[in-house]
Amino acid sequence: MSYDYRALGLKSGLEIHQQLDTEEKLFCGCPTLLRDTKDSILEFSRFLRPTQSEMGVIDKAALEEIKLTKKFIYKAYDTTCLVENDEEPPGELNQEAVEYALTIARLLKMNIVDELYTMRKIVIDGSNTSGFQRTGLIATKGFIDSSYGRVGIDVLCLEEEAAQKVEDKGDSVVYSLDRLGIPLVEIGTAPDIVSPAHAREVAEKLGMMLRSTGKVKRGIGTIRQDINISIKEGARVEIKGVQALDMIDIIVEREASRQAALVDIKNQLKVKKAAVSDKIIDVTSVFASSTSKVIQKALKGGVVYAINLPGFAGFAGQEIQPGRRLGTEFSDRAKKSGVGGIFHTDELPNYGITKEEVESLRKAVGAYDADCVIMVADTKDKAKGALEGVILRAHEALTCVPEETRRALPDGNSAYMRPLPGAARMYPETDVPPVVITYERIQKIKLPELIEERIQRYIQQFNLNEELAGQIVRSQNVELFETIMKEVPEANSILVVRVLETLLYELEKEGIPVSNVRETHLFQLFRMQSEGKIPNEAINEVIKNIARQPGFTVENVVSVLGIGAKTGELESAIDKVIDSRMDFIKLKGIDSVGPLMGIVMKELRGKVSGQEINRLLKEKITKRLDIKS
């Protein structure tokens, strides 16, 4: 479905987390290197349970997570130290990371703080061994321009990356410490984004600006986006963990439509005078002889509990995102108590539950046809907790779109994670001294050329089209390209891009050791090509031979391969062709060069470049025609 997003009152903001490409971590000298968990040399575990005094200030989001108290297991490496283990206090702030963060702040035209304070933000999911994440405010109030107008950049923080979750075993979670402490910038935009396409444009532009610095890590997981979305009658929802840029517009679109659908359901439920019965009823006896496998399995030591939602019939089955229903939202909440899911009468009979059982179920909870019954089969505690979650969500369905933190799903939908946290409470990190940021330091920062500016320069300076310029500028080979064009200004820039971006990769796939090809080889190759000494058709063969015999110069290889006919051979071949076709040349004049090229080239079979043949043919024909006239 497509919406008029302005009428819908869509508002969206992005929070971007980008790892910085520093040598060392933010608070210790360990390398910012990701490891294979198999190489872990030490494993230790912790139970993170906030003390009572801390509990007083932890909001409901945190409390919900604590419901399932977990053991956290950490994998340490020979590239991690006691700081990551939280057995030693953090060192001073990594100045390289501060420098990169300041560069980004200036690119985003932000106001930079005078003094950088490191703070503690409580995290209780175990992703940090210390129980909090260290973060420092670098700058506020910047902006970028977009095709829909200016988008404010509210904050930029320099933070430590969390440990990577390796495995969730239910009662314990395994984390890897290699990622913990890698410097990260967090950039939060104002809620100035007005449509799905706009969200993607802003994310792409910020990503481009970050990469332009050349100081950020690249590849999967090095940049993550959280998206805040609300519509006029909806609520602020934060969707976490978006990794693919090309999903951002779809995610915003799906969330706007989810909220619109929930508002619609709320209005319809009002008309139906729907209600929520908070009474949890034991309906185990109804299913005592059920043949449903799910029920049978749960009844081994478990129960079946149910609640009635008067007036809800048909609504649990109503779609709110493609493939996700209001019933899915109920189920998400239930799963927080550790159950596998719920059953609701909009989808029954099914799963081996019979029509007769559904009728008895309705009778047992006193439900009419217009009502929806929700049931859970599991242990007493889990079933009760699950239905309490559903009751809460059903009440919300009657009154509002709930404010939530949701997890992005690969298809662009999202699933419930926890209530939206309140403003994070910060505590000063007394182990890390503040850093004064002087006016002189800010003035000294050199701003990088933006990728989009560089593309325009390449189009102008090297005569590349937009596509090739974009390809090479975004490539890891961009500096090599610049070096080649500087060293060999006469090189054919289009050919250089094709060789660096396509040919070398193709040869590598064929198993050719292209890493043996050195910069100096490439200089020689492109120089000889521009001089007509290597025809384009022979470049592939020349590179293959250099890769296999890196001790050779390009000239060696060319002469061994017999590429480039000796000048004498070329001249005599051309003379022969001209002699035998003088009538044709007289008739056509200089236009005879084209047709004759083909004949000469066939005779020399790619040994000489077309450019060189063309030059010589032109020269000789002009001379002949002059003499004869």
H helices present in 353-500, as ranges: 355-365, 380-399, 439-444, 451-462, 466-473, 478-487, 493-498
Q: What size, in residues, is the chain? A: 629
* Preceding amide of 349 cis, omega within 30: yes
Q: Which stretch binds Zn ion (CB under 5 A): 21-29, 129-137, 169-177, 367-375?
A: 21-29
Cα–Cα distance between 473 and 527 in angstroms, integer? Answer: 22
Q: Which stretch binds Zn ion (CB under 5 A): 20-28, 229-237, 319-327, 593-601?
A: 20-28
Site size for Zn ion (CB under 5 A) = 5
The separation between CA 13 and the C-alpha centre of its own chain, rounded to angstroms, equals 17
Residue 32 CA neighbour count, 13 Å, CB half: 24
Min dist CB 25 to Zn ion, Å, is 6
81 vs 307, beta carbon nearer Zn ion? 81
77 vs 100, beta carbon nearer Zn ion? 77
28 vs 377, beta carbon nearer Zn ion? 28
81 vs 281, beta carbon nearer Zn ion? 81
CB atoms within 10 A of CB 134: 21
For β-strands 71-76 and 172-176, DSSP reports them as parallel
81 vs 367, beta carbon nearer Zn ion? 81
For β-strands 115-116 and 118-122, DSSP reports them as unpaired
162 vs 546, beta carbon nearer Zn ion? 162
Quick check: 30 binds Zn ion (CB under 5 A)?
Answer: yes
The residue from 8, 81, 105, 367 that contacts Zn ion (CB under 5 A) is 81
CB atoms within 10 A of CB 250: 16
DSSP 8-state code for residue 402: P
Which residues are 172's β-sheet partners?
71
Q: Which stretch binds Zn ion (CB under 5 A): 79-87, 96-104, 139-147, 345-353?
A: 79-87
Cα–Cα distance between 137 and 110 in angstroms, integer? Answer: 12
The separation between CA 67 and the C-alpha centre of its own chain, rounded to angstroms, equals 31
The separation between CA 287 and the C-alpha centre of its own chain, rounded to angstroms, equals 47
The separation between CA 118 and the C-alpha centre of its own chain, rounded to angstroms, equals 27
| Per-residue x/- track, 84-123, Zn ion (CB under 5 A) | x---------------------------------------
85 vs 405, beta carbon nearer Zn ion? 85
28 vs 295, beta carbon nearer Zn ion? 28
Min dist CB 96 to Zn ion, Å, is 15
Which burial class, exposed, middle or buried, applies to 171 when counting CB atoms under 10 A from its CB (0-12, 13-18, 19+)? exposed
129 vs 195, beta carbon nearer Zn ion? 129
Min dist CB 214 to Zn ion, Å, is 25
The separation between CA 111 and the C-alpha centre of its own chain, rounded to angstroms, equals 27
Asked if 124 contacts 58 with a C-beta cutoff of 8 angstroms, the reply is yes
Min dist CB 177 to Zn ion, Å, is 9
Tell me which residue has tokens 């519509």: 231
Min dist CB 89 to Zn ion, Å, is 12
User: For the CA atoms of the chain, what is the radius of gyration?
Assistant: 34
Asked if 78 contacts 176 with a C-beta cutoff of 8 angstroms, the reply is no
| Per-residue x/- track, 233-272, Zn ion (CB under 5 A) | ----------------------------------------
Min dist CB 365 to Zn ion, Å, is 57
Asked if 428 contacts 263 with a C-beta cutoff of 8 angstroms, the reply is no
30 vs 497, beta carbon nearer Zn ion? 30
159: which 2 tokens?
């933070």
Q: Which stretch binds Zn ion (CB under 5 A): 23-31, 261-269, 417-425, 598-606?
A: 23-31
The residue from 8, 28, 180, 342 that contacts Zn ion (CB under 5 A) is 28
Asked if 157 contacts 137 with a C-beta cutoff of 8 angstroms, the reply is yes
The residue from 48, 83, 102, 283 that contacts Zn ion (CB under 5 A) is 83
28 vs 108, beta carbon nearer Zn ion? 28
Q: Which stretch binds Zn ion (CB under 5 A): 29-37, 91-99, 445-453, 555-563?
A: 29-37
47-76: contacts with Zn ion (CB under 5 A): none
Asked if 370 contacts 381 with a C-beta cutoff of 8 angstroms, the reply is no
Tell me which residue has tokens 């004949």: 599
29 vs 323, beta carbon nearer Zn ion? 29
H helices present in 477-553, as ranges: 478-487, 493-498, 504-509, 519-530, 539-548
181 vs 402, beta carbon nearer Zn ion? 181
Cα–Cα distance between 435 and 95 in angstroms, integer? Answer: 9
30 vs 62, beta carbon nearer Zn ion? 30
For β-strands 404-408 and 237-242, DSSP reports them as parallel
379: which 2 tokens?
């242990």
Q: Which stretch binds Zn ion (CB under 5 A): 82-90, 92-100, 275-283, 495-503?
A: 82-90
For β-strands 319-321 and 281-282, DSSP reports them as unpaired
Min dist CB 130 to Zn ion, Å, is 13
Min dist CB 81 to Zn ion, Å, is 3
Min dist CB 84 to Zn ion, Å, is 5
83 vs 251, beta carbon nearer Zn ion? 83
- Nearest Cα neighbor of 375 from 395, 350, 408 is 350
Quick check: 496 binds Zn ion (CB under 5 A)?
Answer: no
Min dist CB 166 to Zn ion, Å, is 19
Min dist CB 159 to Zn ion, Å, is 16
Asked if 221 contacts 243 with a C-beta cutoff of 8 angstroms, the reply is yes
Min dist CB 218 to Zn ion, Å, is 23
Quick check: 182 binds Zn ion (CB under 5 A)?
Answer: no
Min dist CB 74 to Zn ion, Å, is 13
Min dist CB 367 to Zn ion, Å, is 59
Min dist CB 91 to Zn ion, Å, is 9
Question: Site residues (CB under 5 A) for Zn ion?
Answer: 28, 30, 81, 83-84
